[in-house]
Structure 1
Amino acid sequence: MMTEKAKILIVDDNPNNRLAIRTILKGVDAQLQEAANGFDALTMALETNYALILLDVQMPEMDGYEVCEQLRADQRTADTPVIFLTAAYKENSDKMRGYTAGATDYLTKPLDDHILKAKVHVFLRLYSQYQQLQENNAALTLAASVFESQQGMMITDADNSIIRVNKAFTAMTGYSPEEAIGKNPGFLKSGRYDSDFYLGLWHSIEYSGTWQGEIWNRRKNGEIYPQWLTITSVKNNNGVVTHYIGTMTDISEYKTAEEQIRQLAFYDPLTGLPNRRLLLELLQHGIDSCSRDGKIMALMILGLDHFKPINDSLGHLAGDELLQQVAARLLDRLRNIDMLARLGGDEFTVLLENINHVDDASRVAENIIADFKQPFYLSLDPTRGIHIGVSIGISLYAQPGTTPAHLLDQADAALYKAKDNGRNCFAYFSEDLTLAARKRIELEARLRLVIEREELQVYYQAQVDIATDKIIGAEALIRWHPPIEGFTSPWQFINFAEKTGLITTIGAWILKETCRQGKQWLDAGLPPLVLAVNVSPYQFQHSDIITLVADVLKDSQFPAHYLELELTESGLMENQDKNLLILNELRQLGIHIAIDDFGTGYSSLAYLKHFPVSTLKIDKSFIDDIPYKQDDMAIAATIIAMGHMLGFKVLAEGVETPEQLAFLQEKGCDRYQGYIKSRPIPAQEFEQLLRTQQ
């Protein structure tokens, strides 16, 4: 016999919503029908047996609650499953009103495709099972053939004593027929329900002849499990109940799948911590509690300092293990009533409810920072300690009307402040941070647009051989047009790009453009130049600089020995062993390495001799006051002498006067750059300068 396809009714006054649901349920083995209002829905439901009704709550004229109440009032539709679709719950009472009206389940808009499809599949399966049960029950007798069903079956007499069970019952419960027959089915109770629940169950059987629903019972081994149970009364010709038939299906797998869906929806799969979605729900609960009880609540966002370099260098598996250890260490530090969540990436949140004073949050933050001073040990190398810090932004709930999203934004702004303050510290939100955060977001958006529109330009400043006064190279410098409000200097621009991580994209673009331009000049017959490109510490640590340089040289065909990378002294000293390996690989490509702004950082010439460096650049700050400051003159002379002793070429930055140039010539400096020769100028003007010299 061909089984008729199950039907699902979609009820929503908004045609776009109905179309969206149809799209999600495309491919579901069911016939989808639609109703645009409550009246049509009731008419269709009375004429058609639906497996499931997806019912919008907010509709004009007749809302979802009234529709559901009328469905439940009619015997033909009383048991049809109804899932309410609603945008939000204003109060718990709204949800209770829905269940009172007869709702089977709730889904919140915007709908999660996977959850909707999963629930629909479950109800279709249950509908299929229910249809099968109905067919079985219609023809049910005490014949033995009935007991060949794959579903557990139990027959009792009118006094509710078991007189027969089938093999599926035994397999499901663990009780043999001998152990079950003669007993009241109450011995299967799980203990989860009170007497009122069972009174309602028997009330339904008494008045409608049947009851069906999900119920938890207990197996012989003590395990509590869920089943879908249908109890039907059997009457004789006089209408007197002679037997009760119970048909049961183990739905443990469905419940497991349902829990898996919940885990995916509300928990981070890596750490097992609540995710952002669950955090927002718990934040709202905390806000409601604080508003009611007058308590203080603090929200912290924790950002791990220097996590990305570890993740990039050791690999994602090691990074994942480190995040798991961070989660475990934080859980050990917090109280049982505190809530820890993972926002994603290297950011965690801590929700402190029911604190008595603001200082309580400060103490927790201080303790967390102190905890992170202890190293982490990964399975990749259990003997090597990994050190990371943590920056913490804190927002407080104190003002009615604050939303979870506002608290998160405020804590995020405070986190930026903590990072700006030097990292490995904490900061509280204040109103001025909102303006700063907004400005930062606007600037970042503008900068991204500048990159996308290719409004960046490379300017070139001549580097000159002191002995011949000939241009032998140039430093590539970033400029932009039109002007960007908020950036008044290249230093501001680069500093902001580093904080946002955009420096990696910008740095790669400058390198490609400089090598392209250098190759073009060589092809045009201009004298060979060493072109120097700055590499920021962030780009050096957070990108595969070796692969980038190799690819750019290959694509541009620019000779490697004409390319020089400038790195800051302080940046090289941050992770000396790792940086030495990177520099050696870069030198093997054939390029040159220069130390920029020398004298402003470690100033360790003895250590620098271990690096494959070819040039030292004396920082402009030591040149500015020559010949007026004896200290600066002494420092510059010492750097030149020691640099030569260690085999480095020395270049002075910021040379602007003949007196400065004369001093450098006297001390044997090799090269210089500065306004005395040329300002940074566009490529076309720099080419003209070269041709004039030629």
Structure 2
Amino acid sequence: MQPSKILIVDDYKELRDLYAEFLENAGFIVVKAKNYDGAVEQIDSSIDIALLDVKLEGHSGLDVLAYLRKHRPACPVIMMSGFADKKSTIEALRQGAVEYLEKPINPHELVHSIKHWLDYHATKQENHRLQDFQAMHRRLQENEQQIRMANERLNFLLTSTSAVIYASDISDHYATTFISDNIKRLCGYEAEAFTSSADFRLGCVHPDDVEHVKNSLKKGLERGSNRFEYRFQHKDGHYVWVGDEIRIDKNQHGTLEFLGFLSDITEHKHSEEKIREMAYTDLLTGLPNRSLYYDRLKQAIAQSHRNHTNMAVLFMDLDYFKPINDELGHEWGDIALIEVARRLQNCIRETDTVARLGGDEFSIILDNIESEESACMFAEKVIHLIQEPMILKNSQYVLGVSIGINLNSHEYRDVETIMRLADDAMYQAKELGRNRYCIYRDKESGVFSEINAELKLEKALRQAISNDELLIYYQPKVELKNGLITGTHALLRWNNAETGIILPDQFLPLANKTGLIVQIGEWVLRQACTQNRKWKEMGLPIVPVSVNVTAEQLRHADFSKLVAQTLRDNHLDADMLQLEISESDLMQHASAVLISLNELDAMGVKITIDNFGAGFFSLQSLKSMPVHELKMNRSLIHQIGQGGDSAQIANAIISMGHILNHQVVAEGVETEDQLQFLRKHDSDGILGFLSSPPVPANTIAEQLKNMKSMLKLLD
């Protein structure tokens, strides 16, 4: 069957295109015009229904309506307007418009109205055809020849129409007295099956729809006509949706009967379901959208208060999602969102609801939870699931999620307030470092004072970056046998105008929480390599420079490209750079950073595990990592010579490192006893105040220029 053709006339292009998109998705052919002239050009016999805006530039929509009434009087016209204009409404209906819709128009309501008037128009045409037949039948009774001709035409009418025509009495059984042969095309049964049994037609109605059908027939008897929809069983067992248009008439004996027209509307029903799904479902992830979520939240709130149970709302915003869109493009960003939706869907109960509210924002309704602790445990579970690495474009990415929790409160019962409070709590989680959850508290809870202090420090740190307040000191790494410098370690400092030099342990934890560590880390990398190039240009015997990196930096897909470009920009070989990642960071994020580590290793950049010995990094894990150097934990070195098992642990680390062909160095070396121990057990090098504290770049230049033993006083 040819799809119906719809004319849309609206001078707002965005609305015109939006209506067209929904109607095309519903299976219609759509033509568009922005004014009277454009509409007149489109109007011909192929237009089945018109959708006109009242307010147009130049001629109004009423002028288009008048043109249609003159040239296509049978074409149904629906008027629409953004103004509650009663005068225009009355005039449009007076001129023959079938309906008036006020903007903004719900897509489902628009599609439903159009289908209704198309069905009504088709039914009206069928009625005219049937009336023609009845008049013909009365005339043909007077003449046998006319009767023969009428029968031939009747047969043509009944077989050519798609609608099934039937007649039934008005008894409680609504027995079928006549039904056209094309009923077999609709449901597989012959016409005789309906006329031979009084209950057969109602017996084909879906059990859940029988009462609805009987009530609709009774209303039709009272009103003189009615239209209703229900499910009708096919002979093979499946159900089709039918539209039933009935009216009361008298048969040839003067007895009242129903004349009905059955049409298959299954395809229309499926289209309506698709439109309904579009209206309430997030098309990317398949999760409920904001509209459906808010409806379910209203129900959950009412049920919670009615049953005196607890509920919680979790408002979630993804962390570290923007780099995926920026680096890989929105297509891969969409894939990441689909994966996040899958993980969230898998961690909720049947009674809970998870929805995508838009962008990278999600929300969950936890229905009937036991306590605040239960909500917190669930939030921790979500954070853990979201943190699991995902492969995007052959690279590993790790997302985080900040969660705001609002527990059920008798004080607030409206959806908007509850969501706003959950949103406030989510921003608290962001401000406290991201990838965590916060429960909404009022100001008296004390959480705001902590937030304000961190916000003040974060603001100052951001200004430090833009005001060039950061600087780098360098600490030489010294080879133990001859005391010569074999490398330098870049150490960040903050030269604050108010407080002076600030050490990194006072501001780097906040930089990690806020994501500033990526920007700061890139600055340190570039500055350290630029300084090494300057030493080279000065003719100094340069040595590798070590730079600390975090898992946050390494899990970015383009980090190795950044390193390669930085080396090229400064004309440095890869062996002139060494990157250090802490043992704890590596233990926690090993799978997320392994790809970057392998890329750096293939490039020729050396990798050091910093602060080694503070955790419990397994030998098996160490063997699988592209590591070149172990830097022993400072506190472990400090305890050498003070009893305990620190000396044995240090010796074991040195031995293990050498077995794996790793260099082993010690940091924080301050005493001669520590030095002698490390020499005795063949440590490869040291950093510490015993050889040199961290110093400015010009001091390192002097040390490189002299190339003397940094340990000569202790030889």
Mapped pair 1:462 → 2:474: yes
Displacement of 1:561 in angstroms is: 0.7
Displacement of 1:615 in angstroms is: 3.6
Displacement of 1:33 in angstroms is: 3.4
Match of 2:408?
397
Q: For the residues of structure 2 that align with 1:412 and 1:318, how far apart are their CA atoms? A: 22
Where structure 1 has 5 or more consecutive residues not aligned to the other structure, the ranges are: 87-105, 108-115, 308-314, 375-379, 381-387
TM-score (norm 1): 0.64
Q: Which digits, 9 at most, give the CA deviation of each residue in 1:365-398, with x for residues without a partner?
A: 6699899999xxxxx9xxxxxxx99998643121
Query: Structure 2 residue aligned with 1:138, among 114, 125, 128?
Result: 128
CA pair 465-259 structure 1, distance change in 2 beyond 3 A: same
Q: For the residues of structure 2 that align with 1:230 and 1:128, how far apart are their CA atoms? A: 13
Structure with higher Rg: it is 2
Q: 1:8·1:33 contact (CA, 8 Å) conserved in 2?
A: yes
Query: Structure 1 residue aligned with 2:295, among 271, 281, 288?
Result: 281
Per the alignment, in what secondary structure is the counterpart of residue 29 of structure 1?
A: strand
Q: 1:300·1:395 contact (CA, 8 Å) conserved in 2?
A: yes
CA pair 430-316 structure 1, distance change in 2 beyond 3 A: same
CA pair 55-226 structure 1, distance change in 2 beyond 3 A: farther
Per the alignment, in what secondary structure is the counterpart of residue 602 of structure 1?
A: coil
Q: For the residues of structure 2 that align with 1:83 and 1:200, how far apart are their CA atoms? A: 27
Partner amino acid for 1:200? K
C-alpha RMSD of matched pairs (Å): 6.3
Within 5 Å, which residues of 2 pair with 1:148-547?
A: 148-149=159-160, 151-156=162-167, 162=176, 164-181=178-195, 186=202, 189-190=205-206, 191-192=208-209, 193-194=211-212, 196-204=215-223, 206=224, 211-212=226-227, 214-220=229-235, 223-231=238-246, 245-267=259-281, 274-290=288-304, 296-300=310-314, 327-328=345-346, 330-331=348-349, 338-343=351-356, 351-353=365-367, 359-360=370-371, 362=373, 394-401=405-412, 403-404=414-415, 406-408=417-419, 410=421, 428-431=439-442, 432=445, 435=448, 459-466=471-478, 473-477=487-491, 490-491=504-505, 493-499=507-513, 503=517, 507=521, 510-511=524-525, 514-515=528-529, 518-519=532-533, 522=536, 525-540=539-554, 543=557
Query: Structure 1 residue aligned with 2:583, among 541, 565, 569?
Result: 569
Q: For the residues of structure 1 that align with 2:453 and 2:243, how far apart are their CA atoms? A: 56
Query: Structure 2 residue aligned with 1:29, among 28, 31, 40?
Result: 31
Match of 1:101?
none
Displacement of 1:172 in angstroms is: 1.7
Q: For the residues of structure 1 that align with 2:503 and 2:417, how far apart are their CA atoms? A: 33
Displacement of 1:574 in angstroms is: 4.0
Q: 2:311·2:368 contact (CA, 8 Å) conserved in 1?
A: yes
Percent identity for Structure 1 against Structure 2: 25
Q: For the residues of structure 2 that align with 1:232 and 1:622, how far apart are their CA atoms? A: 95
CA pair 632-135 structure 1, distance change in 2 beyond 3 A: farther
Where structure 2 has 5 or more consecutive residues not aligned to the other structure, the ranges are: 22-29, 33-38, 40-50, 70-74, 134-153, 322-332, 386-390, 392-398, 708-715
CA pair 155-437 structure 1, distance change in 2 beyond 3 A: farther
Q: 1:600·1:619 contact (CA, 8 Å) conserved in 2?
A: yes
Match of 2:137?
none
Displacement of 1:435 in angstroms is: 3.7
Partner amino acid for 1:564? Q
Displacement of 1:177 in angstroms is: 1.4
Q: For the residues of structure 2 that align with 1:539 and 1:354, how far apart are their CA atoms? A: 40
Corresponding pairs, count? 609
Match of 1:312?
none
Q: For the residues of structure 1 that align with 2:420 and 2:643, how far apart are their CA atoms? A: 47
Per the alignment, in what secondary structure is the counterpart of residue 566 of structure 1?
A: strand
